[in-house]
Amino acid sequence: MIKVLVGGCFDVLHIGHVKFLRQAKSFGDYLIVLLESDANIKKLKGSTRPIHNQKERKEVLEALKFVDKVIILPDVVNNIFYDNLVKKINTGKISRS
For residues 93 and 86, give the distance between their C-alpha atoms in angstroms, rounded to a whole number: 10
DSSP codes joined into one string, 29-68: SEEEEEE--HHHHHHHH-TT--SS-HHHHHHHHHTSTT--
All domains in the chain, ordered by first residue: 3-91 (3.40.50.620)
pLDDT at 97: 44
Residue 3 has pLDDT above 50, yes or no: yes
Query: What value does the mean pLDDT take over residues 33-54?
Result: 93
Q: Is the full-model pTM beyond 0.85?
A: yes
> Of 43, 55, 87, 93, which is the active-site residue?
43
pLDDT at 78: 86
- pLDDT single digits (tens) 55-95: 999 999 999 999 999 999 998 888 898 899 999 988 887 75
> Of 3, 25, 42, 45, which is the active-site residue?
45
pLDDT at 95: 58
Q: How far is CA 52 from CA 7, 25, 38, 47, in A?
A: 16, 24, 9, 13
CB 31 within 8 A of CB 68: yes
Known catalytic residue: 43? yes
